[in-house]
Amino acid sequence: MSTTYVLDTATSRAHPTPAPMKRLNIPGIRQRKVDGVTEQPVVMLTAYTARQAQLLDAHCDLLLVGDSLGQVIYGLPSSVPVTLDMMSAHGAAVVRGSYHAAVVVDMPFGAYEQSPQQAFESASRLLKETGCDAVKLEGGTAMAETVAFLTQRGIPVMGHVGLTPQAVNVLGGYNARGRSAAEAEKIVGDARAIADAGAFAIVVEGVVEPLAIAITKAIPCPTIGIGASAQCDGQVLVTDDMLGMFERTPRFVKIYEHLAETISAAAATYAAEVRARTFPGVEQTYQPK
């Protein structure tokens, strides 16, 4: 059975409902793709807090604690400044808030590139401190040795090729990748190398659609598209993007709800009632018995 938490509901708003069910596991996700075909696409969204995890959990196969939290939660200019401490804290919160989806935690920039040994130290820390099911790292052929090193030591790894945000300083921006034949060939090679090294799934981000389809056909493990193609074996979006929390979003994002407008309107109504002294009312105050 999955780990459940019984919290004092008198003092905490976060009280995950215990459920007699098993959390989805990494082998099960990998086995969705059989002979190159994934009949049931993999659904993944980002989550950074326990409450967000609670709301998304029942609808997702995977919850990704992405290093995108650098921009989304902390207002940083990129994911590069994100630390292991940040990933550990938010990863643990998401695990506490979920019981159905498998939880994947991003390895932040600088926590794994130096050597397979460094990557193992960082990844094992994340698994121990968060209870997550797997880690994700960016990079292609250069990271294949590291992926093999981790998987051979019991740490499931999700890969990430194409537009890799941690390498934004080298790439020169967030433009779509794979427009040239040479770059497309390299990205396919990167995906093959990571898959051969043992990755259970690979995020394919920000590539031209024919390349995303070619990668999906070329590797045995599921591809998770973001700005890629509906023909990928699954999809992921940054939850705050698809909920319309920001004024600007990447072109590949579909906004399913405009929560920023709803929140702003609610705050405006609250402010007006406070200034008019109509809040709190009788219902929100304690009267003598």
Q: What band does 14 get if pLDDT is binned at 50, 70 and 90?
A: low
Cα-atom radius of gyration of the chain, to the nearest Å?
21
Which of 280, 241, 239, 245 has its CA nearest to residue 262?
245
pLDDT at position 173: 63
pLDDT at 171: 65
- Residue 3: pLDDT band by 50, 70, 90 thresholds? very low
Q: Is 68 annotated as a binding residue?
A: yes
Helix (H, G, I), strand (E, B) or coil at 8: coil
Q: Is the bond preceding 77 in cis, omega lying within 30 degrees of 0?
A: no
Q: Using the CB atoms, write b or e for 48-84: b if 16+ within 10 Å.
A: bbbebbbebbeebbbbbbbbbbbbbeeebebbbebeb
Structure tokens at 242: 């698809």
* Residue 103 pLDDT class (50, 70, 90 cuts): very high
Question: For position 83, what pLDDT does the model report?
Answer: 98
Q: Is 138 annotated as a binding residue?
A: yes
Q: How much is the pTM?
A: 0.92
pLDDT digits (tens, 9 = 90+) for 173-215: 667 778 999 999 999 999 999 999 999 999 999 999 999 999 9
> How sure is the predictor about 164, in pLDDT bands with cuts at 50, 70 and 90?
confident
Mean pLDDT of 108-124: 98
pLDDT in tens, 165-178: 776 666 666 677 78
Interval 26-41: pLDDT, tens: 999 999 999 999 999 9
State how far the Cα of 182 lies from the Cα of 204, in Å rounded to an integer.
Answer: 17
Mean pLDDT across the chain, nearest whole number? 92
Q: Which of 113, 205, 247, 261 is catalytic?
A: 205
For 45, the 3-state DSSP assignment is strand
Fold of 26-284: TIM Barrel (3.20.20)
| Domain assignments of the chain as residue spans, ordered by start | 26-284
Residue 176 phi/psi, 5-degree rounding, is -60, 145
Residue 121 annotated as part of some ligand binding site:
no
196 is in an annotated binding site: no
**Phi/psi of residue 13, nearest 5 degrees:** -80, -20
Check pLDDT > 90 for residue 16: no
Per-residue pLDDT of 208-239, as tens digits, reads 999 999 999 999 999 999 999 999 999 999 99
pLDDT of residue 19: 56
Percent of the chain with pLDDT over 90: 86
pLDDT at 5 over 70: no
pLDDT of residue 166: 77
> Residue 121 catalytic?
no
d(CA 208, CA 252): 11
Confidence of residue 15 (pLDDT cuts 50, 70, 90): low
CA gap 92, 247 in Å, rounded: 29
Nearest of 182, 143, 180, 181 to residue 160 by alpha carbon: 143
Q: Is 67 annotated as a binding residue?
A: yes
11-37 mean pLDDT: 80
What does the pLDDT look like over 52-73, one tens digit per residue?
999 999 999 999 999 999 999 9
